[in-house]
């Protein structure tokens, strides 16, 4: 894809879109609703009317601000240097990342394995689902929602309270869609201030990639369930990095504040109080580690029936893909989702779409036309509200 020298690349736009859409708008020079350029604002008018003496005073203030900013940057660098050391230590233990950081259990991969088998049943899924307390609450919320609730012969709503009933009411095909999505939602970072939209953007990206992969699999020999599950869970590493970043930022900042206070370093203490989590560092850490962490997590999960671990390792090592392979399908699904998200967020123009799509090998004939008619950001579950 060819970008103007003054415009950020498509990858840069999408990386920032996942963190905060407003950042991308500023990068490409777009204004939000009601926002005016500085030159058109009252502040701009006032600036032009300043007397020379005021301009000199402001210039001195700007020089001081540059000095303060330079010191702040050096403190930010030191904080992230310590954070990176702590991050490496965390990532050395995949089991801790899986259990402690993502809050997933050893029953999760067994459940997904059983779910993926063509001849599976509720009785086979239930023991693994029931062993995960968090999943009970999620499934009760889904099965008792207006979309899935059932009524008895007298028209009264049936309130589902047991795991077996919930699984039965939802049905196997819906479970193949819902269970991987609920696992991903379990891993999604929740507290990401000052970037509160991360969880929403990441969920859209995961849903879009999974649904796109499911649709593309129908044009080849890959099992739809396998394609969908890989698409959904391929973001587990990204979830882990984001969770770790915000937790470690708080820990390192607190530690450095305590040291500065103990050593009576007032300037350092004041600078540390001004620091906030950095989108640039967060993006860099995801790009550097997320794929490998996902591959490590998949290998830790020891799937017996889902053949997705090898494909994810190939992605992590930037290996080559063969036409029609699971690796190629994931890359195509991710790119297609990125393009749809960017265009929907108005950070990719219509005339840029074709160039963006060409970053991946040719999509199966007719697949892009089919995908255009699919809401890839909505889980393809079937409502089941008939009377019991």
Give tens-digit pLDDT for 31-71: 544 444 434 444 444 444 444 444 444 444 554 555 566 88
Query: Is the model more confident about 195 or about 28?
Result: 195
Please give the pLDDT value at position 30: 65
Residues 314, 213 share a domain = yes
On the CB side of 165, CA atoms within 13 Å amount to 12
Dihedral Cα 164, 166, 167, 173, nearest 10 deg: 160
Maximum mean pLDDT: which of 311-320, 350-359, 376-385 = 311-320
Is 87 contained in some domain? yes
Please give the pLDDT value at position 314: 96
Residues 54, 151 share a domain = no
Please give the pLDDT value at position 282: 94
Point out the domain boundary residue: 116, 150, 179. 179
CA angle 363, 369, 372 (to 5 degrees): 105
For residues 23 and 19, what is the distance between their CA atoms, to the nearest angstrom? Answer: 8
Residues 288, 236 share a domain = yes
The stretch 273-295 carries a mean pLDDT of 95
Task: Count CB-CB contacts under 10 A for residue 74.
Answer: 12
Is 388 contained in some domain? no
Residues 348, 219 share a domain = yes
Confidence of residue 280 (pLDDT cuts 50, 70, 90): very high
**Token code pair at residue 225:** 């369930």
Please give the pLDDT value at position 66: 55
Is 12 contained in some domain? no
- Residue-wise pLDDT tens digits, 62-117: 545 555 668 899 999 999 999 999 999 999 999 999 999 999 999 999 999 999 99
Is 150 contained in some domain? yes
**b/e for 237-256, b at 16 or more Cβ within 10 A?**
bbbbbbbbbbbbbeebbeeb
Please give the pLDDT value at position 57: 46
pTM metric for this prediction: 0.86
Please give the pLDDT value at position 166: 93
Residue 139's domain comprises 101-179
**Token code pair at residue 191:** 């507290």
Distances (CA, A) of 241 to 21, 134, 156, 167, 272: 20, 22, 46, 32, 22
For residues 15 and 181, what is the distance between their CA atoms, to the nearest angstrom? Answer: 22
Confidence of residue 231 (pLDDT cuts 50, 70, 90): very high
- Residue-wise pLDDT tens digits, 136-167: 999 999 999 888 878 877 878 888 889 999 99
- Residue-wise pLDDT tens digits, 318-367: 999 899 999 999 999 999 999 999 999 998 888 888 888 888 778 999 99
Is 378 contained in some domain? no
Please give the pLDDT value at position 156: 84
What is the DSSP code string of 111-171? Answer: HHHHHHSTT--HHHHHHHHHT-HHHHHHHHHHHTSTTT-EE-TTSPEEPP-SHHHHHHHH-
**Token code pair at residue 226:** 């396998």
Residues 328, 256 share a domain = yes
Residues 149, 121 share a domain = yes
Please give the pLDDT value at position 58: 44
CB proximity list for 220: less than 8 A, separation 6 or greater? 324, 329, 364
pLDDT at 207 over 90: yes
Please give the pLDDT value at position 125: 96
For residues 87 and 109, what is the distance between their CA atoms, to the nearest angstrom? Answer: 25
Q: What is the DSSP letter of 51?
A: -
On the CB side of 200, CA atoms within 13 Å amount to 8
Residues 324, 218 share a domain = yes
- H or E stretch at 209: helix 198-217
For residues 210 and 182, what is the distance between their CA atoms, to the nearest angstrom? Answer: 13
Point out the domain boundary residue: 179, 202, 226. 179
Please give the pLDDT value at position 76: 93
Please give the pLDDT value at position 29: 79
Maximum Cα–Cα distance across the chain: 85
Is 7 contained in some domain? no
Is 246 contained in some domain? yes
Residues 344, 211 share a domain = yes
Task: Count CB-CB contacts under 10 A for residue 154.
Answer: 6
Please give the pLDDT value at position 357: 87
How many structural domains is the chain composed of? 2
Is 6 contained in some domain? no
Residues 249, 127 share a domain = no
Distance of CA 119 to the CA centre of its chain: 32
Task: Count CB-CB contacts under 10 A for residue 325.
Answer: 16
Point out the domain boundary residue: 131, 152, 179. 179
Residues 225, 195 share a domain = yes
Query: Average pLDDT over the chain, rounded to whole?
Result: 88
Please give the pLDDT value at position 56: 45
Q: What's the start-to-end Cα distance of the chain, in Å?
A: 54
Residues 194, 122 share a domain = no
Maximum mean pLDDT: which of 5-14, 16-25, 41-50, 82-91 = 82-91
Residues 236, 141 share a domain = no
% the chain with pLDDT above 90 = 72
Q: Which of 154-163, 176-185, 210-219 has the lowest mean pLDDT?
A: 154-163
């Amino acid at each position: 894809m060819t970008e103007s020298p003054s415009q950020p690349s498509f990858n840069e736009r999408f990386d920032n879109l996942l963190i905060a859409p407003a950042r991308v708008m500023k990068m490409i020079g777009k204004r939000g609703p009601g926002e005016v350029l500085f030159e058109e604002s009252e502040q701009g008018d006032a600036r032009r009317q300043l007397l020379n003496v005021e301009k000199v005073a402001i210039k001195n203030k700007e020089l001081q601000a540059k000095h303060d900013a330079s010191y702040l940057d050096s403190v930010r660098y030191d904080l992230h240097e310590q954070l990176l050391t702590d991050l490496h230590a965390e990532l050395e233990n995949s089991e801790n990342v899986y259990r402690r950081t993502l809050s997933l259990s050893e029953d999760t991969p067994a459940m997904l394995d059983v779910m993926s088998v063509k001849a599976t049943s509720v009785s086979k899924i239930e023991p693994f689902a029931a062993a995960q307390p968090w999943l009970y609450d999620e499934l009760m919320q889904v099965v008792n929602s207006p979309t899935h609730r059932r009524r008895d012969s007298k028209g009264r709503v049936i309130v589902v309270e047991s795991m077996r009933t919930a699984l039965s009411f939802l049905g196997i095909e819906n479970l193949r869609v819902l269970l991987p999505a609920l696992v991903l939602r379990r891993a999604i970072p929740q507290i990401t201030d000052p970037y509160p939209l991360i969880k929403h953007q990441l969920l859209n990206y995961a849903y879009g990639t999974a649904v796109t992969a499911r649709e593309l699999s129908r044009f080849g020999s890959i099992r739809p369930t396998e394609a969908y599950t890989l698409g959904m869970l391929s973001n587990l590493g990204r979830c882990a990095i984001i969770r770790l970043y915000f937790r470690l930022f708080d820990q390192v900042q607190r530690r450095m504040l305590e040291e500065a206070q103990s050593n009576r370093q007032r300037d350092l203490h004041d600078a540390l109080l001004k620091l906030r989590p950095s989108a640039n560092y967060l993006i860099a850490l995801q790009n550097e580690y997320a794929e490998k962490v996902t591959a490590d997590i998949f290998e830790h999960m020891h799937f017996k029936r889902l053949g997705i671990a090898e494909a994810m390792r190939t992605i992590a090592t930037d290996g080559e893909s063969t036409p029609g392979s699971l690796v190629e399908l994931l890359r195509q699904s991710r790119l297609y989702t990125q393009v749809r998200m960017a265009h929907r967020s108005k950070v990719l123009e219509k005339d840029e779409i074709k160039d963006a799509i060409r970053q991946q090998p040719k999509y199966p004939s007719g697949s892009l036309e089919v995908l255009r008619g699919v809401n890839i950001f909505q889980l393809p579950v079937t409502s089941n509200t008939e009377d019991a």
